[in-house]
Structure 1
Amino acid sequence: MSQFAMYGKFKAHPGKGGELAQILLEAAEASKADEGCQFYIVNAAEDDLDTIWVTELWRDAEAHAAALKNEGAQAMIKRAMPLIASVEPVKLRPLGGKGLE
């Protein structure tokens, strides 16, 4: 199996980027206990604080899918949904580079 990477671009409703970022930072903290998650980084666009980017690297796509089914993840998703205007996921297959095994 190969590693799975994903960039998620979350556009929050106006003025809700900070709240959304806090929930995603909670997800990042929770991901530390998930052995399938190799990194989960939350970023705010410098020129638009209502646009939040998440950069993820997982052992494989199955580990990512399993994490989304977790009860805690489901609760965070439920809290985040009203804050989100749109989501643009970009699924990737890592090829190599610094930080990849």
Structure 2
Amino acid sequence: MTFANVGTLGVASGSRDEVVSILTRPNPDLKPAGCLLYEVGVSDEHPDTVFVMELWSSAVAHQKSLQLPSVRALIAEAMPLLSGAMGGDQFDVAGSPLP
């Protein structure tokens, strides 16, 4: 069953664009690891927040991806720019009306 991780990352004031740049850097390891979708977004109403939507082939695939060297390097690069405020939800996708 497809697994979704939808969350928010609080960023240090003025660091949003740099975090977005890190998170949107092409990573050829994600697709083979089971990543079906990885979207990063921003909102003018929340200038110190980055939004992330992920779809994975399974929760296990998502968890295993966090051990990939390329993912760990990106996390390490982004961590100093985060404020520590994080939110979101994880769930199994039940379906979609799209064909």
Runs of 4+ in 1 over 3 A off after TM superposition: none
Aligned partner of 1:30 among 23, 27, 50: 27
Aligned AA for 2:48? D
Which residue is 1:56 aligned to? 54
Percent identity of the aligned residues? 29
Unaligned runs of 5+ in 2: none
The answer to whether the aligner puts 1:45 opposite 2:43 as a matched pair is yes
| Larger helix proportion of the pair | 1
TM-score scaled by length of structure 1: 0.86
Give 1:77 deviation, angstroms.
Answer: 0.4
Which residues in structure 2 correspond to 1:1-101 (within 5 Å)? 2-26=1-25, 29-30=26-27, 33-35=30-32, 36-85=34-83, 86-98=85-97
Relative to structure 1, is the Cα distance of residues 78 and 45 closer, same or farther in structure 2, using a 3 angstrom cutoff?
A: same
Question: How many residues of Structure 1 are paired with residues of Structure 2 in the alignment?
Answer: 97
Aligned AA for 1:53? F
TM-score scaled by length of structure 2: 0.87
Relative to structure 1, is the Cα distance of residues 32 and 46 closer, same or farther in structure 2, using a 3 angstrom cutoff?
A: farther
Cα root mean square deviation, aligned = 1.8
Give 1:32 deviation, angstroms.
Answer: 6.8
Taking the aligned partners of 2:91 and 2:28, their CA distance within structure 1 comes to: 19
Unaligned runs of 5+ in 1: none
Instruction: Tell me if the contact between 1:17 and 1:49 (Cα under 8 Å) persists in the aligned partners.
Output: yes
Instruction: Tell me if the contact between 2:37 and 2:54 (Cα under 8 Å) persists in the aligned partners.
Output: yes
